Amino acid sequence: MDFTFRAFAEDGPGSHWQRHFKKHWPAYRRWFLRFGERKRPTYLESIQALKKHMPEMLPSYETMVDLAGGGDHAARFLSQYCPPPLFRGCSQSVYIQDEVVLVRNYDYSPYIFDGLVMRSKFDQRAVIAMLDCMSGALDGINSDGLAVSMSFGGREEFGEGFGIPMLLRYVLEYAGNVAEACELIKRVPVNGAYNVMLLDSDAKFETLAIGPGQAPLALGNKVSTNHQPGSSWPIY
């Protein structure tokens, strides 16, 4: 089947972002509430977690909430705090020869993939990223030359923390190289197991295995797929 990728440019969330949010929100709302409203954190819990772990993201988050209409469900969803389980496939690899490249393969069903690219400058850095959950990113690169992507870690367990797209957006906005990115990642709890691949303009790279309730593990791998040390889910 054919699939159309779409791209738009706005320094901060604005009318273009709002238009795409309105298009995707009905499906995202069904996903966000699929296990019942009480299974999701309250708005107060969500905003407190964001203030504690990623306070720099508050201005852009609040703008998105306003553009989304200021509703309770949208505000909780856009914080990406303790969302429903998010299974993202994909393989990723760093290539360092004549050029420095991070390559990522999308193993997504076209029926659950937005295919939406945004060029933005929310704060200090320009970012080009593949949007996910409207406030986060699946992968991207910033104006300092830091590239980031992720793959699923192959664990069934989910816990308390942020969805991986929000963490990747945070890294792209506020880290300029691999070392800075690793420090930011250590500070932010995530709700599931994922492998985060990082590559910067100095050809430094790292792959971190992260998960709920565990410290990030530096793997040093140039390739990662949908498992990590200790994962035991047979289908991955």
Q: Model confidence over 86-127: pLDDT tens digits?
A: 776 789 999 998 889 999 998 877 888 899 999 999 999 999
Contacts of 69 (CB under 8 A, 6+ apart): none
In angstroms, the Cα distances linking 95 to 104, 105, 204, 205 are 11, 14, 11, 10
59-83: average pLDDT: 98
Higher pLDDT pick, 235 / 202: 202
Paired tokens of 97:
């020869």
190 pLDDT above the threshold of 70:
yes
Q: What is the pLDDT of residue 236?
A: 62
Task: Give exposure, 153-162, as e/b (b: 16+ Cβ within 10 Å).
Answer: bbbeebeebb
Nearest CA-CA partner of 167 in 210, 123, 134, 137:
137
Site of tokens 């995707």: 24
Per-residue pLDDT at 40 exceeds 90: yes
Residue 64's pLDDT is: 99
Domains for the chain: give ranges and CATH numbers. Answer: 1-236 (3.60.60)
State the pTM of this model. Answer: 0.95
Q: Are 149 and 104 in contact (CB under 8 A)?
A: yes
